[in-house]
Structure 1
Amino acid sequence: MTRTATTIDTYRLTPRVTGFRLRVPGEEFAFDPGQHTTVRFEAGGTEVVRPYSPTTLPGTDEFALAIKRYDDGLASSYMHTRSPGDEVEIGEFEGNLALENPDRDIALLASGTGLTPLLSILRQYARIGNGDAHLVFGERTADSIFHRSTLDELAAMDDSVAVTYTLSDPEWSWLGRVGYVQEHLEDLFDEFETRDFYVCGVPGMVVETTDRLRELGAPEERIHSEGWESDAVDEED
C-alpha cells in the first residue's frame, strides 16, 4: 500500500544532504525506529522505487528524511527538487534493522547516510534504554557530517549517550579521530561479547565492520544490519 505524503519543509544539512519533513494528515506512523519507507515516482515511463529511513521517531503524522544528492541519482535528484507543498508517494515501512533489547548496552556504527536509521534508533534508546549507547559516525570531511548539532545535543543531554566522529579525509584543522569506523572499534570498546552492535553504511563498510566485530569476539546474534550487504559486495567483485 502506498500513501501520498505532503512535503512540509526542506532544510539544508550539508552542501549535499537535505532534510525533508513529510506529513500524511490523519496518519499515526507506527514503524520501528531503524526501518525504512520507499519513495516512488515515474521517470521515463518507468517506476522508480528507493528506500529511505526516517531520522525521527514514530507516533505522529510526520517523519523526517535526510537525503544525499548524487549527480547520477534519479531518486536523490528527484527529492532534491521537492519544495514545501509538493506531494511524494511513499510505501510501507519495513526492514530488519530495529532495536533488539533496550536493556543492553549498544554501539551504533554508521558511515554516510547510514546514519539515518541509527539516529532514529539512538533517539529511541535515549528514551527507553537502560544502558549506554555509543554512536560512531564516519564521514569523509567535517562539512559532510550531517545532523551534528542533533547528535551533540543528544550526547550533552544524556550521560548514557556518547558520540564519536571519525573522518577519512580530514582538513588540517580537524582534531578528532582519523580513518574509518571499523579501524577504531578496539580503541573505543572493551566489551564485545555483551553489547549489541548496529551497523549501517555503504555495503563495503558494513561487511568490513561486521567482519572486524566477529574477530574481536562479538557473537553473531549481537551484530545487526540489514543483511543484504554481503551480496552487494559480491556483485561488485
Structure 2
Amino acid sequence: MPFEATITSIHRMTPRVKQFVIEADDEFDFEPGQHTTVRFERDDPDEGEDEQVVRPYTATNTPGGERITLAIKRYDGGTASVYMHERETGDTITLGDLGGNLTLQNTDEDVVFVSTGTGITPMMAMLKQYLEAGTGETQFFYGEKNQEDIMYRETLDQLATEHETLSVVYSLSEEDWDGPTGHVQDHIEGYLDDLDRDFYVCGVPQMVVDTKDRLDGLGVPDDRVFSEGWEDGEVED
C-alpha cells in the first residue's frame, strides 16, 4: 500500500547523484537489497490527463527504524529522477512497500558483489548486512565511467579499512587512472583465486547478462549467482 513519507535530508554524492534520507510514521519493513517505489502524478499532454508515475529505488541502509536512504541519479530525460532531484528537505513524497528478489542468501558463504552505476545501491545494503552477520570473505567490484561518478567511495574505503575480510576494486571505463579500467566484470578472475563463492550482480541489464555469462564460462554454478532476475528479458540477442 502506498504511504506518505518526508524527506529529512538531501546530500549531493556526485555531480549527478543525490542521497535522500526519508522518514515515515512507521518502521520500514524490508530485507537489505530490496527496493521501494516513488509514486507521483504528472500531466500527460498527449492524453490530456494525469499520468501515474511509479519508479523503483533501492534502500542503501539496513532495516531497523523509520528511516531509509535512497541514492538517485538524475537523468536529463528521466521523469522520476528529475522529480526527485527537484525535491527539497521537508517535502512529502509517496512511497510503495519494499520488495524485490536481490537479497543475501547465505551469510556463511564467501561473497562477491559486482555492480555498475546505481546498481551499487542494493549492494551497499547487503554489504553492510554481511559485514555485521557474515562469517567469510567479501570482494566488492564496482564499475563507473570516471572517478567523480564513483558513489559511496569514502564509505567503501572506510569499511575496507575496518574489515580485513573486505576488498574493494573500482574499475573505470572512460578514464585513465592508476587502477583497473574497462568493464568491471572483466577483472573478476584477476582478483579471485577461488571462485567457490556466492555472486551478487546488479547494474544495467547488458552488464548483468554479460557478467552471468562470464561467470558461467568460469564454471560458477547458476545457483551461486544472484540478480533481480528480469535482466535477461531486457537484452536482445
Q: Identify the TM-score tier after normalising by the shorter chain.
A: over 0.9
Match of 1:40 in 2: 39
Q: Which of 209, 213, 216 is the matching residue for 1:214?
A: 216
- Displacement after TM superposition at 1:40 (Å): 0.3
Deviation at 1:70, TM superposition (A): 0.2
Match of 1:195 among 193, 197, 201: 197
Q: Which residue matches 2:152? A: 147
Is 1:138 the counterpart of 2:143? The answer is yes
Deviations 1:114-134 (A, max 9, x none): 000001000000100000111
Deviation larger for 28-37 or 136-145: 28-37
Match of 1:177 in 2: 180
How does the TM-score come out when normalised to structure 2? 0.96
The answer to whether 1:115 aligns with 2:120 is: yes
* Corresponding letter in the other structure for 1:230: D
Aligned residues between the structures:
231
SS in 2 for 1:184: helix
**Identity across matched positions, percent:** 48
Q: Indicate the RMSD between aligned Cα atoms, in angstroms.
A: 0.8
CA distance in 1, matches of 2:83, 2:220: 40
Q: Distance in 2 between matches of 1:47 and 1:189?
A: 45
1:28, 1:79 → 2: CA distance?
A: 22
For normalisation by structure 1, the TM-score amounts to: 0.96
Which residue number in structure 1 is paired with residue 226 of structure 2? 224
What stretches of structure 1 move > 3 A for 4+ residues in a row? none
CA distance, structure 2, for counterparts of residue 81 and residue 62 of structure 1: 20
Q: 1:84 and 1:115 mapped to 2: Cα distance?
A: 24
C-alpha displacement of 1:30: 2.2
The residue type paired with residue 89 of structure 2 is P
Superposition pairs of residues 3-18 of structure 1, within 5 angstroms: 3-18=3-18
1:75-114 correspondence to structure 2 within 5 Å = 75-114=80-119
Residue of structure 2 equivalent to 1:51 = 56
Aligned twin of 2:47: none
Deviation at 1:170, TM superposition (A): 1.0
